[in-house]
Amino acid sequence: MASAKNARVLVVDDETDVLFALKMLLKTEVKQVVTEKNPDNLPALLDREKFDVIFLDMNFKSALNTGNEGLFWLRQILQKDKEARVILITAYGDVELAVRSLKEGAADFIVKPWHNDKLLETLHYNLQARQPKKAGAGNTNTHKNTSTSILGESDAIKEVLYKIDKIAPTEANVLILGENGTGKELVARALHEKSFRATKPFVSVDMGALTDSLFESELFGSKRGAFTDAKEDRAGRFEAANGGTLFLDEIGNITPAMQAKLLTVLQNRQVTPLGSNTPVPVDIRLVSATNEPIYELAARNQFRKDLIYRINTVEITLPPLRQREGDVELLARHFSAIYAQKNHKPEPDFAPATLQKLKQHSWPGNVRELQHAVERAIILAESNLLQPQDFSFSPMEMATAASSTAAFAPERAVPLIEMERETIIRTLEKNKGNISRTAKELGLTRTALYRRLNKHDI
Q: What is the pLDDT of residues 127-179, one digit of tens each?
A: 876 655 433 333 333 333 333 368 888 999 999 998 998 899 888 899 999 99
With beta carbons less than 8 A apart as the criterion, state whether 320 and 182 touch. yes
b/e map 286-320, b = 16+ CB within 10 Å: bbbbbbbebeebeeeeebbeebbebbbeeebebbb
pLDDT tens for each residue of 434-454: 777 777 777 777 667 777 777
CA distance 137 to 134: 5
Considering the domain architecture, whether residues 28 and 144 belong to the same structural domain is answered as: yes
* DSSP designation for 182: S
Q: Rounded to whole angstroms, how far apart are CA atoms 217 and 93?
A: 8
Determine the average pLDDT of the residues in 398-416.
40
Percent of the chain scoring above 70 in pLDDT: 82
- More confident position, 455 or 250: 250
Residue 443 is part of a domain; what is its CATH number? 1.10.10
Same domain, 181 and 302: yes
Mean pLDDT value across residues 241-249: 92
Q: Rounded to an integer, what distance in angstroms lies between the CA atom of residue 220 and that of residue 211?
A: 14
Per-residue pLDDT, averaged over 268-291, amounts to 88
Is residue 64 classed as helix, strand or coil in its secondary structure? Answer: coil
Q: Is the pLDDT of residue 17 over 80?
A: yes
Asked whether residue 398 falls in the same domain as residue 451, the answer is: no
Quote the pLDDT of residue 230: 53
Domain end, chosen from 260, 294, 319, is at 319
CA–CA gap between residue 367 and residue 146 (Å, rounded):
13
When pLDDT is cut at 50, 70 and 90, the band that residue 393 belongs to is low
Task: Render pLDDT for 188-216 as a digit per residue (tens, 0 to 9).
Answer: 999 999 998 988 889 998 888 887 778 88
Name the E strands within 222-283: 245-249, 270-271, 280-281
Neighbouring-strand partners of residue 414: none
| Confidence at residue 60, expressed as pLDDT on a 0 to 100 scale | 73
The domain in which residue 314 lies consists of 152-319
Residue 175 CA to residue 310 CA, distance in Å, equals 10
pLDDT the model gives residue 333? 92
Say how many domains are in the chain: 4
Residues 158 and 212 both lie in one domain:
yes
Q: What would the pLDDT profile of 334-346 be if each residue is shown by its tens digit?
A: 999 988 888 888 8
Strands 108-112 and 285-290: unpaired
305 pLDDT exceeds 50?
yes
Average pLDDT over residues 358-382: 90
pLDDT at 276: 80
Of 264, 297, 319, at which residue does a domain stop? Answer: 319
Residues 289 and 339 in one domain: no
